[in-house]
């Protein structure tokens, strides 16, 4: 642990704790896994957090991400848009991170439509730079929750590249979910475009770019000690199960009740 670096983030961490969303997300930490333990070294020489970070330009990062999408697709494009710059500005440990391996995040992991590669890639970047919650800081965890809520609630894409691959205009859509299947499905319905269409690919490239833009804004705030978590949702706290907030979209009016813990007897 780099205690010195963690201490320098004291202001940021305090702000996280007093943020409205952070309270719910903090509650989720104990719901999910139980006891928060200090990190134990397992041998990874890059497992010292936070990684050195220099502020990046959100628009420039998004432009890189947009172009990288056409080479490595959503997840790896988000990672590479940030790490390619930090390799230049900082060097290690970014030079040792194999970003291109994350091509498989495409299509919600090799086409299975689970989490969209854009938030999946953004979550990886946030937690690589800031570190996992077991290492003593929770901002990476909170930033991942912020990513997914922002992605679910925002009319995407928000970013328009300078040099477009195709010039078509098309609708933006709000997914209400971080899942690829739901996000791309709602857009395909609104745009009446097929998965294989150039417009769908362009839309996904811009969604990745929009996600990279938003992530850099959060990371820059964190670097300046003024990051505040914006997420206000914890399915575990609210519903007793991991999940999203769009329960009725799959369950209709028949949302199941999760089994509850047995009530403890009063002594």
Q: For 143, phi and psi rounded to 5 degrees?
A: -65, -35
Q: Using an 8 Å Cβ cutoff, are 146 and 212 in contact? A: no
In the complex with its own copies, the residue whose CB is nearer, 58 or 108, is 108
In the complex with its own copies, the residue whose CB is nearer, 124 or 156, is 124
In the complex with its own copies, the residue whose CB is nearer, 59 or 247, is 247
In the complex with its own copies, the residue whose CB is nearer, 201 or 223, is 201
Q: How far is the CB of 127 from its own copies (least distance, A)?
A: 5
Q: How far apart are CA 70 and CA 83, in angstroms?
A: 17
- Residues near 211 by beta carbon (within 8 Å), at least 6 away in sequence: 65, 78, 118, 119, 121, 122, 147, 151
Q: How far is the CB of 10 from its own copies (least distance, A)?
A: 22
Q: How far apart are CA 225 and CA 160, in angstroms?
A: 29
Q: How far is the CB of 115 from its own copies (least distance, A)?
A: 4
Q: Using an 8 Å Cβ cutoff, are 81 and 221 in contact? A: no
Q: How far apart are CA 249 and CA 154, in angstroms?
A: 17
Q: How far is the CB of 153 from its own copies (least distance, A)?
A: 13
């Amino acid at each position: 642990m780099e205690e010195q670096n963690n201490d320098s983030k004291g202001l940021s961490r305090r702000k996280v704790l007093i943020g409205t969303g952070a309270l719910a997300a903090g509650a989720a930490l104990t719901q999910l896994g139980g006891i928060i333990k200090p990190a134990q070294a397992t041998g990874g020489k890059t497992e010292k957090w936070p990684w050195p970070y220099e502020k990046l330009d959100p628009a420039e990062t998004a432009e890189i991400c947009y172009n990288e999408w056409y080479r490595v697709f959503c997840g790896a494009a988000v990672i590479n848009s940030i790490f390619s710059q930090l390799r230049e500005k900082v060097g290690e440990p970014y030079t040792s991170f194999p970003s291109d391996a994350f091509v498989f995040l495409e299509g919600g992991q090799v086409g299975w439509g689970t989490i969209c590669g854009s938030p999946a890639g953004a979550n990886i970047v946030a937690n690589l730079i800031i570190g996992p919650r077991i290492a003593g800081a929770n901002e990476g965890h909170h930033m991942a929750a912020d990513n997914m809520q922002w992605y679910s609630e925002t009319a995407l894409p928000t970013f328009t590249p300078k040099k477009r691959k195709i010039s078509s205009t098309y609708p933006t859509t709000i997914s209400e979910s971080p899942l690829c299947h739901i996000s791309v499905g709602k857009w395909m319905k609104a745009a009446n475009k097929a998965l294989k269409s150039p417009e769908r690919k362009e839309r996904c490239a811009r969604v990745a770019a929009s996600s990279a833009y938003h992530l850099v804004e959060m990371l820059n705030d964190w670097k300046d000690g003024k990051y505040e978590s914006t997420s206000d949702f914890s399915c575990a706290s609210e519903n007793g199960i991991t999940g999203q907030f769009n329960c009725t979209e799959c369950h209709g009016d028949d949302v199941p009740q999760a089994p509850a813990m047995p009530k403890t007897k009063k002594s």
